[in-house]
Every structure is written in C-alpha cells, then in structure tokens.
Amino acid sequence: MKPVELERLSIDQLWKLHVEISKILQQRIQQEKLVLEDRLSRLGARVAGRRPYPPVLPKYRNPDRPSETWAGRGKQPRWLVAQLRSGRRLNDFRI
C-alpha cells in the first residue's frame, strides 16, 4: 500500500491492518528466534535461561521479625529502609 492509500482508510480499517501486521510480525519473530536458537545450540552455547547463581546467605535480620532477612543484594527491604530512616545503622542489623 502506498502512503496515500493508507490516509484514505478509516480508523477501524487501520486498526484491523495494525492487528494483522502485529500477528504476522509476532509469527516471523518467533520463527527467527527458533532459527537463531538452533544455530546457538549447534555451536554448543546455552540457548535459554539465566546463569545459575549460588545461594546467598542472609547478612541482615529484622530484630522485630527475625524471619525477615536480607542478603545485602538488590533493593533494600522496607523494614530496613524504615529502620535506617529512624537513625539506625546498617551494621545494627548484621547477623
């Protein structure tokens, strides 16, 4: 279709065209992904999944609820943020 032809289409017609194109793109992307994963597997590379990480032991514990712990990785838990705002130090919660 030429741009001039697209301008003449109604919103409903354009939306139907958008849905059709999205479906076709999704199918082609999936096909391409399978081809690339096949190539990677022939090369001996891992195809999917995350790298396995060893379990990390907790370093900090909530004194009010001892079952709540934090390993020191990622975002700080809410209980720790609240305690730090109240003036306590991170080392106060060390296990």
Per-residue pLDDT of 59-85, as tens digits, reads 999 999 999 999 999 999 999 999 999
- The answer to the question of residue 21 being in a domain is yes
Please give the pLDDT value at position 67. 93
Within this chain, do residues 34 and 66 fall inside the same structural domain, yes or no?
A: no
Length of the chain: 95
Residue 68 located in a structural domain: yes
Domains contained in the chain, number: 2
Q: What is the mean pLDDT of residues 8-30?
A: 95
Q: Looking at the domain assignment, is residue 52 inside a domain?
A: no
CA distance 37 to 32: 9
Q: Give the burial class of 84: count Cβ atoms within 10 A of its Cβ; 0-12 exposed, 13-18 middle, 19 or more buried.
A: middle
Model pTM score: 0.47
Q: Can you give the residue range of the structural domain that contains 82?
A: 60-93
In a domain, 51, yes or no: no
